[in-house]
Amino acid sequence: MTQMIIDGRKVDAQDGRSIDVVSPVNGDVFTTIPRGQEADVNAAVKAARAALEGDWGRMTALDRGRLLLRLGESVLAHHEELAQLESRDTGKPMSTARADITVLARYFEFYGGAADKVHGQTIPFQKDYSVQLIREPLGVTAHIIPWNYPAQMFGRSVAPALAMGNASVVKPAEDACLSIIRVAELALEVGFPAGALNIVTGLGEEAGASLSRHSDINFITFTGSNEVGVLIQQAAAVNAVKCVLELGGKSAHIVFDDAKFKLAIPAIVKGIVHNAGQTCTAGSRLLVQKGIYAEFMNALAEEFSKVRAGTPDMDLTCGPVVNKAQFDRVNRYIAKGLADGLKVAAEGTIADGVPAGGYFVKPTLFAAPSHDSTLLTEEIFGPVLVALPFDTEADAIRLANATDYGLLGAVWTENGGRQQRVARGIKCGQVYINGFGAGGGVELPFGGVKKSGHGREKGFIALEEMSTTKTLIQFYGE
Ligand code: ADP
């Protein structure tokens, strides 16, 4: 039985209820977590508010930064333990889990170093006035975290919030919260005051909903589905609370006829099968210029068919998907692709010896004859890539923008003018030119447009998102 962290203590849910946690590798229950309710959320928000009014709120930016840096060091010192927890919850291959924990440490390092480097401004105003613009924390920040990259999403969301002096309440996903709880324990060990960082586990519609509608929070970050993103924004509206939403994507690779195959092909395969495709930034659409379409698809199919899914210990290209609901959803999309007339251009394999009850999906590369299938517009969140040929540069931009989402894009060409025109033509928050992969990159501002959400995380910009300004206007004349 794992416990939550509220006000510096490990606790069960006040009503003692718990939730079973199921292994994606074999479908067995391997632990339980507290099923937090409104009372637990209230206790966590109260503790966060008290921390802001106590030691945590009085701490200098330098000292907050030092604590974050110490937490980054502690994450690295517990690297293997955290990677094991992450992999047990999500089924990730061990090398992926290890890489994720390294990125988690990077968030604490980056924002630890940044904490005392966010400065205010002075503003020239009328005669005999001094005007200062100072940065202040927002207050109690709420963070609702998804299950696909629990450790990374936690670091991305919480590290800048703490760096700016907010006190945080985190609601991890019910499928995967073990690494997050362990990091919160480490935070206490390295000296974070009680209440600065609280973790409430539970179901989305219970603990998550209670947190998002709480009248004493000042900010929400949410990464997850569009449906829940709408609920979060509605709850935030009632209390006039700012929120940052990251709600998925349907990101397109655009491959022009002068692209370097040897660069593009491995990146395109990795961009969809990494984490079994359960990545908001997955490159799940592939647009290839007609003149090279057949040749490119042949070369891609050869690489794609090498992809293997297996258990964390087998450490292959990908693991299972996270749960039964996700398994059924991805398989439904594959069946729909076949029904829509898409051709299977290549398939990966599920390794021999994986447990029968595991949620392993066969990685699939589809070739689409036209833009008609919903597999080209809806987020699947599995290892399924759909390719489509295009004619001209204008067609490529039009097709890339033909979804409700706008998170990432990628342009593969050696033509410098085309790189700029296409990158600027795609409606999204990040564009790669001759590369791909948003994992890591803690320095790089990230977020979506359209239904991929709003607000920015990562980089220095997150420090602005997670703080506010106060303008001090002083008359010093006589
Ligand atoms: P998925 O459908 O991929 O599981 P969700 O958007 O449901 O993604 O979950 C992302 C996070 O949002 C999880 O921590 C989940 O518990 C939480 N969540 C789900 N429903 C709600 C809700 N109604 N209010 C607040 N949080 C929720």
Same structural domain, 204 and 263 = no
- Is residue 385 in a domain? yes
- Is residue 295 in a domain? yes
Q: Using one digit for the tens of pLDDT, what is the confidence trace for 235-249?
A: 999 999 999 999 999
408 lines ligand 1 (CB under 6 A): no
Same structural domain, 100 and 227 = yes
Burial of 96 (0-12, 13-18, 19+ CB in 10 A): buried
205 lines ligand 1 (CB under 6 A): yes
Assign residue 341 the CATH number of its domain.
Answer: 3.40.309.10
Mean pLDDT of the chain: 97
Q: Using one digit for the tens of pLDDT, what is the confidence trace for 259-305?
A: 999 999 999 999 999 999 999 999 999 999 999 999 999 999 999 99
- Is residue 460 in a domain? no
Residues 50-82, buried b or exposed e (16+ Cβ, 10 A)? Answer: bbbebebbebebeebbbbbbbbbbbbbebbeeb
Q: Is 246 a catalytic residue?
A: yes
Show which of 207, 222, 247 is a domain's final residue: 247
Same structural domain, 223 and 307 = no
Q: Using one digit for the tens of pLDDT, what is the confidence trace for 347-358?
A: 999 999 999 999
* CA–centroid distance, residue 62 to ligand 1 (Å): 35
- Is residue 436 in a domain? yes
CB 427 within 8 A of CB 474: no
What is the pLDDT averaged over residues 223-236?
A: 97
Same structural domain, 313 and 424 = yes
Residue nearest to atom 20 of ligand 1 (CA): 204
- Is residue 467 in a domain? no
Distance between CA 395 and CA 389 in Å, rounded?
10
Q: What is the pLDDT of residue 439?
A: 58
Same structural domain, 242 and 313 = no
Single out the catalytic residue among 86, 246, 393, 465.
246
Which residues are bridge partners to 6 per DSSP? Answer: 9
- Please check the confidence at residue 14 and state whether its pLDDT lies above 80: yes
Q: Which residues contact 396 (CB under 8 A, 6 or more apart)?
A: 254, 256, 287, 289, 390, 422
Same structural domain, 61 and 162 = yes
Show which of 247, 280, 296 is a domain's final residue: 247
Q: What is the pLDDT of residue 8?
A: 98
Same structural domain, 225 and 261 = no
What is the pLDDT averaged over residues 197-206?
A: 98
For residue 323, what are its two tokens? 């749960």
The model's confidence at residue 437, banded by pLDDT at 50, 70 and 90, is confident
Residue among 206, 228, 321 whose CB has most ligand 1 atoms within 8 A, to mutate: 228
> For the chain, how many structural domains are there in total?
2
228 lines ligand 1 (CB under 6 A): yes
Same structural domain, 103 and 211 = yes
- Is residue 450 in a domain? no
The DSSP annotation for 283-349 comes to EEEEEEEHHHHHHHHHHHHHHHTT-EE--TTTT-SB---SSHHHHHHHHHHHHHHHHTT-EEEEE-E
Task: Scan for tokens 């693991």, then name that residue.
Answer: 319
Same structural domain, 287 and 173 = no
Q: What is the pLDDT of residue 31?
A: 97
382 lines ligand 1 (CB under 6 A): no
Q: Whole domain around residue 310: which residue ranges?
A: 252-441
- Is residue 10 in a domain? yes
Q: Using one digit for the tens of pLDDT, what is the confidence trace for 121-156?
A: 999 999 999 999 999 999 999 999 999 999 999 999
Assign residue 163 the CATH number of its domain.
Answer: 3.40.605.10
- Please check the confidence at residue 438 and state whether its pLDDT lies above 70: no
- Please check the confidence at residue 440 and state whether its pLDDT lies above 80: no
Same structural domain, 236 and 331 = no
Its pTM stands at: 0.97
- Is residue 451 in a domain? no
How many residues would you count in the chain? Answer: 478
Nearest atom in ligand 1 to 227's CA: 6
Distance between CA 356 and CA 23 in Å, rounded?
12
Show which of 189, 219, 247 is a domain's final residue: 247
231 lines ligand 1 (CB under 6 A): yes
Same structural domain, 142 and 281 = no
Same structural domain, 83 and 215 = yes
What is the pLDDT averaged over residues 24-45?
A: 98
* CA–centroid distance, residue 146 to ligand 1 (Å): 7
- Cα–Cα distances in Å, from 305 out to 93, 348, 351, 474? 18, 5, 13, 68
The model's confidence at residue 32, banded by pLDDT at 50, 70 and 90, is very high
Residue nearest to atom 27 of ligand 1 (CA): 204
Task: Scan for tokens 């998550």, then name that residue.
Answer: 208
- Cα–Cα distances in Å, from 22 out to 26, 176, 199, 357? 8, 9, 20, 11
- Please check the confidence at residue 411 and state whether its pLDDT lies above 60: yes
Q: Which residues contact 477 (CB under 8 A, 6 or more apart)?
A: 127, 128
For residue 469, what are its two tokens? 């300004």
- Please check the confidence at residue 389 and state whether its pLDDT lies above 60: yes
